[in-house]
Structure 1
């Protein structure tokens, strides 16, 4: 139940605070006095998109705060599901800052607008002209039926299953499309992989291959030059080694005369040893090298294959080619595994479809079961509201495809008079009839769906006289089960309220502001008399007002 509403710096409101009670509270005021501003502020508090132009003084922040008494409404789960701390006395605050940003709090905990909207649905039901139009929509009509059928948990279950089914179906479609795309590329990927596989690149040292190729390609020149070196080193009379040995013998004869000759002999001796080792290596290398056209041909082919693949794949090493080969192998394996993944998803979709279909069938059965009760109650209320011949037809059919609230389509047909054909509400019902139908719907819902607060914004549009009395009686009965606020222009309804608030405008320092004032006693009589006869209150209007109040 809404116990307090405080509004600062919003539209024409500078600073107001109103205390609200249980039962039926009437809100009246002249056209343009600010009744819609009050509802606008409350809607903003409950998650409506913020509009900086609604702020009265743009240099100050706008603050809307409401206190709710929730101990009797079992809303702990709603708070828990939205990660909010439940308090029996809950305070909600919305602020619009001068910067244009907005922020919101529930029990001083920052919350998102989305959390406000979800919570607001469970706290206040604001009826407006827009909602009367929504009465013609299939979605709203099904919501009414589901409320009577107690489908809250079943709808939640269906929504979870439907979302899971939709998600799995989309994933399956994507996987199948991916497979089709992969199949197009599979042949080329397989060709590239096999081409790299046939090149037998594992363990190859490209630098070593190229070096061997160079040696074999130039074997004749290598042999010729190595032979020359061998001859220069080893010729008996004038070979480099023999000459060095002769020099070493000569140094040996004087090495004992001074340390410097000893050092020269040692250096020359080391050089001779190194030259002999070089000569032996040259000789061995000359023996190892020989022309091998077959090997040269094979090496040439191998290197050409490697260079061709490197050019093709824009890489510079065998290691990079092996990485490409591994990647291609993974892609080919992945394509082949798509069938397994598709099969898994197909099974998942089938199972989810069965579960969702089962829940949709339960929804359908529950709706069919409760429709006669809803029809009877609506027609009964409309009879009391001056439409004794009003009749409804609910045509509900189960479809093959899933929808967001089941598999059902619903056509709600209406006629207000005997002998006239049924038609859709939008085409058949007048404005006054729509208002009465909406009140009947709300009256029925109030018996099944416990809400802390319901607000009617001129639901009495298009009615008067005895119908207004009947409306007032129904609203009064509803207020025994919930807090009911009604913005009205009809004295018959205004007189039925247990509490009365007047909204009016006042000029303060040449600035127009909206004010609120609780009415009681003589003030309330005068207000209702003015609703009956206008500004100039007559004795007759006063008498009528007293009669209505009594």
Structure 2
């Protein structure tokens, strides 16, 4: 359940901190007070795009933070699977917006937006002002019915989805067998040429690096020779070289070293230097000998490097990649040599998977139709509770002539709201107010199976009044017995049933218009109901009616 909402620098809200409670949380206020900003802020924290108008001028950064209390075992397991730690029974979702860019966090840890959205779906469901319009698109009806179907149906759909992936893979594999004989021979000939080109090169792992080193040395041999010769002359070759000078110094010191123990140490150190220099001279002389090479050596090295670089440009930037390319080409060549056998095997594989897929689709369809019958019955009951007095509701099935990961069913919700009317698609018969009530009925049915235990309704009461409004309020109260419900409404019939009532209003602060959200006491809630009932003029009679409405709603 959502226990706290913190908003800072969003549209007209400078800063707000709201504690929500179990049951039915109602938010009311004058038109234009900023009720939609509240829902927009929540949507931001749940990963929606950032509308520029939501960010206050010169007030960045903005912040929205939702704190959820989580004790449902199923949700806890899913959170654990998604590697989300629940600290002291709470999960905190937040979005910080600065410079038009948002940073999403879960429990203070920065996460990708996609992960924030996936976690949010487990915790909360928002019914926006226009969400009922999805009912006008029959493509959405299948997902609604499938959300209602629980138990074995979920496992069947997982099997179906996995089988459909295999079917698509097998279908793609067969589509690759589209060559005629001439094309097959042409491709095989080209592959055999490439295989021979790589194989005949006789590549060795690490060979290219060794050749690059040798080639670089050969290419700069004159510079190396000159430098080495000068160095050798300085240390050993020329008269008065370093070796001779050190030997002379050792000789002079050896005559007097017996007079001072410290001098013996110095003389020994110089002897070590002499030994090191002699070793250096031997090493330098050997290196000088290695620098000698023939033009033929240079030519062979350059030629081999060109050959290897040519293969790299065609088959991969390294020995490993070239070998992987060779293995792939050998596999492709074998496939072309046994083309008809491979094709027959692919046909058989697709036939087998198609048969399995068809069986899975049948099983899903049969169970879906059973669930549809249950859905129809419960929808009619729920709609009657929402003042559809003589309503008929039907899930119409159509079998597609192709497969999808959902099966081969296409469905559409059909309804007749008056006696004697034919069943018609929702898009052709339902008004805005009727669609809102139909969606509320669906939400009630799904509430019994949906995991998000927090449901938010943004003006679900659009287009209704009177007795219908009363029945909608009863339905919301019923849902609130098992779920936390947060509802923005302009109808007193709904507001009167609040377990917690909040007022959203505009205030002037330092010549700026700001939105304020205030929790109401029992008496303040009565006065807000009176305002909703009586408008600008609130009389004692209106207040009395509001108090009675509040009492009757309990």
SS in 2 for 1:83: coil
- The alpha carbon displacement at 1:525 in A equals 1.1
* d(CA) in 2 for partners of 1:483, 1:503: 20
User: 1:412-441: CA deviations, max 9, x gaps?
Assistant: 211111112221101111122111111111
Q: Give the drift of 1:30.
A: 1.2
SS at match of 1:162: helix
* Displacement after TM superposition at 1:534 (Å): 0.6
Q: 1:182 to 1:460 in 2, by over 3 A?
A: same
2:499 and 2:97 mapped to 1: Cα distance? 37
Does 4-13 or 152-161 show the bigger shift?
Answer: 152-161
Aligned position for 1:40: 40
Q: 1:153 aligns with which of 152, 155, 172?
A: 155
8 Å Cα contact 1:179-1:338 kept in structure 2: no
Question: Is this contact kept in 2: 1:148–1:374, CA < 8 A?
Answer: yes
Distance 1:524 1:2, change over 3 A: same
User: Cα gap change, 1:347/1:505 in structure 2, threshold over 3 Å: closer, same or farther?
Assistant: farther
Q: Deviations over 1:365-388 (max 9, x none)?
A: 121112222212211222222211
Say if 1:63 and 1:93, in contact at 8 Å, map to a contact too.
no
Aligned residue in 1 for 2:213: none
Q: Which residue of structure 2 lines up, in the alignment, with residue 440 of structure 1?
A: 441
Q: Structure 1 CA distance, aligned partners of 2:100 and 2:450?
A: 37
1:425 partnered with 2:426? yes
How far residue 450 of structure 1 moved from its aligned partner, in angstroms, is 4.0
Provide the alpha-carbon RMSD of the alignment: 3.5
SS of 2:136's partner is coil
Match of 1:384 in 2: 385
Instruction: Assess if the C-alpha contact under 8 Å between 1:61 and 1:95 holds in 2.
Output: no
Give the drift of 1:442: 1.2
CA distance in 1, matches of 2:417, 2:341: 60
- How many residues align structurally? 430
Note if contact 2:121-2:452 (Cα within 8 Å) is conserved in structure 1. Answer: no
CA distance 1:30–1:439, change in 2 (3 Å)? same
Partner residue of 1:410? 411
Deviations 1:489-510 (Å, cap 9, x if unpaired)? Answer: 0000000111101111112111
Would you say the 8 A contact 1:70–1:452 is kept in 2?
A: no
1:467 deviation in Å? 1.1
Maintained 8 Å contact 1:158/1:405: yes
What are structure 1's unaligned runs of at least 5 residues?
A: 197-314
Distance in 1 (alpha carbons) for counterparts of 2:193 and 2:479: 78
8 Å CA contact 1:50–1:96 kept in 2: the answer is no
- 1:273-422 aligned within 5 A: 333=334, 335-336=336-337, 342=343, 345-422=346-423
Say if 1:145 and 1:371, in contact at 8 Å, map to a contact too.
yes
Residue aligning to 2:142? 142
Q: TM-score normalized by structure 1?
A: 0.71
- Tell me, in whole angstroms, the C-alpha distance in 2 between the residues paired with 1:190 and 1:103: 50
Secondary structure of 1:454's counterpart equals strand
Residue 147 of structure 1 and its aligned partner are, at CA, apart by 2.7
1:163 paired residue number? 165
What is the aligned partner in structure 1 of residue 537 from structure 2? Answer: 536
Paired with 1:145 and 1:95, the residues of 2 have a C-alpha distance of: 33
Aligned to 2:280: none
Distance 1:333 1:405, change over 3 A: closer
Find the aligned partners of 1:405 and 1:373 in 2 and give their Cα distance: 20
Q: What is the deviation of 1:105?
A: 1.4
CA contact (8 A) 2:188 2:336 kept: no
Q: Return the alpha-carbon distance in structure 2 between the equivalents of residues 191 and 57 of structure 1.
A: 68
1:477–1:186 CA distance, 2 compared to 1 (3 A)? closer
TM norm structure 2 = 0.70
Sort the Cα spacing of 1:13 and 1:337 in 2 relative to 1 into closer, same or farther, 3 A: farther
Deviates more, 1:64-73 or 1:82-91: 82-91
Secondary structure of residue in 2 paired with 1:502: strand
* Cα pair 2:61 2:98 within 8 Å, conserved: yes
Consecutive unaligned residues in structure 2, runs of 5 or more = 198-305, 316-325
Asked if the contact 2:25–2:487 (Cα under 8 Å) also holds between the matched residues in 1, the reply is yes
Aligned mates of 1:87, 1:366 — CA distance in 2: 40
State the alpha-carbon separation in 2 of the partners of residues 13 and 158 from structure 1: 48
Mapped contact 2:70–2:76 kept (Cα < 8 A)? no
Deviations 1:40-71 (A, max 9, x none): 11111112123454221456321111111111
Counterpart of 1:282 in structure 2 is: none
Q: Structure 1 residue 339: deviation in Å? A: 5.1
Provide the residue aligned with 1:123 in structure 2: 123
Are 2:69 and 2:91, in contact at CA under 8 Å, matched by a contact in 1?
no
Q: In structure 1, what is the Cα distance between the partners aligned to 2:90 and 2:181?
A: 56
CA distance 1:170–1:186, change in 2 (3 Å): closer
8 Å CA contact 2:46–2:93 kept in 1: the answer is no
SS in 2 for 1:496: coil
Q: What does residue 464 of structure 1 align with? A: 465
Distance 1:21 1:492 in 2: 20
Give distance in 2, aligned partners of 1:355 and 1:112. Answer: 37
Give the Cα separation in 1 of the matches to 2:338 and 2:518: 74
Structure-2 residue corresponding to 1:549:
550
Q: Secondary structure at the match of 2:16?
A: strand
